[in-house]
Amino acid sequence: MFKFSSPQKIIEISNVKLGGQPGELPTVMIGSIFFEGHSIVEDSKKGIFDERRAEELVNQALSLSDETGNPTIIDIVGDTPQALIKYIDFISSICDAPFLIDGSTAEVRIEATKHVAEIGLQERAIFNSIYEHTTDEEREVIRECEITSSVVLAVNSRNPMVKGRVEMAERLIKEAEEVGIKNILLDTGVLDIPDVGVASKTIFEVKERFGLPSGCAPANTIDMWTKLKERSKEIFRVCDAFGSAMTPLFGADFVMYGPIGRAKYVYPAVAFADAIIAYTMRQEGVRPKTKEHPLFRIF
């Protein structure tokens, strides 16, 4: 375990805190709902879905959050403005968790962001994301709608290695701050299965350099692992959970663990990693900043 030499920022979005030194705060869990191919979605263009099942999935994640101490953010994905707006209205009506505005195109994200501002949910909303191809229209709507939280995706298409991602992060942090973003969730990106290691190494580097809450999405590539999917569900789940649980060992403050239905086996794995980190960091003079930390919940 390690302690960063640079000051580490802690941010708060609708009562969810992220950041700090390893061992201070629990890893925040970000699960996706209404994504492409999600079985609960009946019409992805109109935003028609199984409300009962959707609420069950959200409640399961929130229940696991209570059990482990790992806070929840919900990644709301939509293919059209109509659909994403419906999804946001539904999720915001059944829980108080922060959520990501995650549209498949700039147009979808723009219209959904405007809606969020109209109904006064800016404090709970996290724009997803500011990245190297973010449009001027998106930047303008972020500013006009007074969105103060955003994922900053540090993928560098010209140089996908650690150095290139750190350089992209530096550029995008400045761009995010220019449009009024105060709460940055720095996503180091995951491009393929082995890239989880590069993304995790980048988490360490960007936290040491910028001191911002950082993480990545190992689940983005787990479904590409064809040989793994050909084996048993149990083996798949073990590897999937490990992919998420390894990132806090590199300093991750949040993990995007993929489909929200996987919460039941990913939350305990990440909570276990958090507890080990927090216990070990006591030797470095670091203590948990909350009594809700997994260190006090799962042992």
User: Does the model's pTM come out above 0.95?
Assistant: yes
The pLDDT of residue 219 is: 87
The full DSSP string for 239-290 is: HHHHHHHTGGGGT-SEEEEEEGGGHHHHHHHHHHHHHHHHHHHGGGT---S-
Q: How far is it, in rounded angstroms, from Cα 138 to Cα 147?
A: 11
Task: Count other C-beta atoms under 10 Å from residue 224's C-beta.
Answer: 10
Bond into 129 cis (ω within 30): yes
The pLDDT of residue 231 is: 82
* Nearest Cα residue to 27 out of 75, 72, 83: 72
Provide the terminal-to-terminal Cα distance of the chain, rounded to the nearest Å: 19
The pLDDT of residue 164 is: 98
Q: What is the pLDDT along the chain (299 residues), one digit of tens a residue?
A: 689 999 999 999 999 999 999 999 999 999 999 999 999 999 999 999 999 999 999 999 999 999 999 999 999 999 999 999 999 999 999 999 999 999 999 999 999 999 999 999 999 999 999 999 999 999 999 999 999 999 999 999 999 999 999 999 999 999 999 999 999 999 999 998 889 999 999 999 999 999 999 999 998 777 778 787 778 889 899 999 999 999 999 999 999 999 999 999 999 999 999 999 999 999 999 999 999 999 999 98
CATH number of 17-283: 3.20.20.20
Task: Count other C-beta atoms under 10 Å from residue 168's C-beta.
Answer: 25
The pLDDT of residue 193 is: 84
Q: Which residue in the block uniquely carries the two structure tokens 């109209």?
A: 118
